[in-house]
Amino acid sequence: MSAHVFWAPGRVNLIGEFTDLVGGPVLPAALDLGVRIEAVAADEIDLCSHELGGRAHLTADGSSPGDEAEGWARYVAAVAAELALLGRPAVGLEGEISSNLPIGTGLSSSAALEVAVGVALCSVAGFSLEPLELAQAARRAEHRAVGVPCGILDQAASLLGRAGDAVLLDTGSLAYEYVPLPEGIALLIVDSGVSRRLESSGYAVRQEEVGRALAAFAERDPREITPAEIDAYEAKGTLDPIAARRLRHVVSEGERVHEVVRLLREPSAANLRRLSEVFAEGHESVRRDWEASTPELDHLVELAQENGALAARMTGGGFGGSIVALAWAGEAEGLADSVLSAYEGHDDAQAKAYVCRASDGARQIS
Ligand code: GLA
């Protein structure tokens, strides 16, 4: 029997950072970097991986036959267990996982793995789910595997991606639409070399803090809360300063997502100048109000701006990881070289750059 091939991309978020924790809008694009599985249907799940190292060997419903799953096998087990709860017949999968997606750089390597495993397990069992149902199962798998209370951004982007487009997703209603990236624009991602792991980062703490702020607003829809109200609540002492800052970030960030969408849809010279400002405001808001940037990310954003990026900001879960810059396709490699050589002169960390295209989402290739 010839093996099937499955693919799930990583993602870069253009703007709308941490807004999925409060049901706000996000604007990611799927990348041309991702996770590939070559496998056949089998009695058990038995997947090995040269790049990731090790093996996931489990019963077809995700329960481990012997010891508890470890490392990346935890994600495989968690996806299988979530799909079993949705009624997937217990058909196993035997094969090899490979990945060209750097791990721990804020490009959603774990979501890409979850989604690739999910697509493959559904296919061999003849079990079909809508993309956003699978995204939600993969998100629950992330919680189950490593206890990270992430939002839906990463898994949804991996499934919904479309070549040439960003995806505007309302993480509250799960309504989405595609936003074409202007012709000739490339996505430059620069990894700061400071690896991040959501498990050990302040991600969960931030979620609690913004939850506290929303509770003070009696769980009102964050889209209806104005910056002036946040100031007033803080002045009255109804909101502590930390909770106020976290809420200020998600409220202002939601507005920036919609402004970026308007600017990308009409990319005149004036609008591209404004795009640069909005990205800079978004970065500053993550740094000052959400407090999830790092000196290395701040430095990379400055270097990208100084060296001709159309727009630049941190991207992903913060506390390390990568920046995203928009650049004219013909200039992206040169921009990457300039940023890397200036950064290496000043920072100890080893940075890496990736020039990417917005790409199609997860699917069975053969
Ligand atoms: C991580 C999480 C996402 C999202 C981003 C920040 O990638 O997995 O759900 O919260 O951080 O925007």
Ligand 1 pocket residue status of 317, Cβ below 6 Å: yes
Q: How many other C-beta atoms can be found within 10 angstroms of the C-beta atom of residue 67?
A: 8
Ligand 1 pocket residue status of 17, Cβ below 6 Å: yes
Top mutation candidate among 154, 158, 195 for ligand 1, by most atoms within 8 Å of CB: 154
From the alpha carbon of 153, which atom of ligand 1 is closest? 9
For residue 27, the model assigns a pLDDT of: 99
pLDDT digit string, tens, across residues 129-152 = 999 999 999 999 999 998 888 999
Alpha carbon of 153 to ligand 1 centroid (Å): 6
pLDDT digit string, tens, across residues 339-359 = 999 998 777 778 999 999 999
pLDDT exceeds 90 at position 66: no
CA distance 109 to 99: 9
Ligand 1 pocket residue status of 182, Cβ below 6 Å: no
DSSP secondary structure of 174-238: --EEEEEPPTTEEEEEEE-S----GGGSTHHHHHHHHHHHHHHTTT--GGG--HHHHHHHHHHTS
Ligand 1 pocket residue status of 320, Cβ below 6 Å: no
pLDDT digit string, tens, across residues 81-97 = 999 999 999 999 999 99
pLDDT digit string, tens, across residues 237-255 = 999 999 999 999 999 999 9
130 CB-side CA count, 13 A? 4
